[in-house]
Structure 1
């Protein structure tokens, strides 16, 4: 797997952290952690976007972040389980996987030239 895609996946993980932080932060340390997660998340996404198609990077970043946030709310914070939500998350993840599969890396294209 290309290291740029790993950056996107890690950025999406940090997106989950900062979105949860926006909802649950209540003191200096939790707000500080939220800000750090935002900085790391966007930095990694921007770095990956320099070598991968930006639209695809953003779609994968937001899709994984959304799926992770909804899953975290259900598993960690007592959000009611709804089969419809899980089905839609699976649909979203399948779209993200599809985008990843059909997207060529710029690095691969430039190597052949």
Structure 2
């Protein structure tokens, strides 16, 4: 369940980062603030079961990779193969951290 909180936080992070850039109306700003609250609440819940360094690394790495890809696909950001290479390295790092982190449930904990 803790990894689902990390995934939720990373997905919602994409929305609030885009919201920080493009929000203009009070309703858009309210949605951005709600997304920030949901994202950080999810991080806090994940940190109850997983090491905070792992949670933060996976959250920021996966969120950053997703935001860069969305910038390429939807917002006309400059595309380069070197950026894709570095995004790939981030994703490999996130997968590596996930694979090497022991889930407390696997150890017989809560």
- TM-score where L is the length of structure 1: 0.92
User: What stretches of structure 2 of length at least 5 have no aligned partner?
Assistant: none
Q: Which runs of 4+ in 1 moved over 6 A?
A: none
Root-mean-square deviation over aligned CA pairs: 1.0
Structure 1 equivalent of residue 98 of structure 2:
100
Report matched runs for 1:20-99 at 5 Å.
20-99=18-97
How far is 1:48 from its partner? 0.5
TM superposition shift of 1:21: 0.7
Structure 1 unmatched ranges of 5 or more: none
Report if the CA contact (8 A) 1:53-1:106 is conserved.
no
Distance in 1 (CA, whole Å) between partners of 2:38 and 2:69 is 21
State the Cα deviation string for residues 67-108 of structure 1 (Å, max 9, x = none).
Answer: 011111111111121111111001000000000000001232
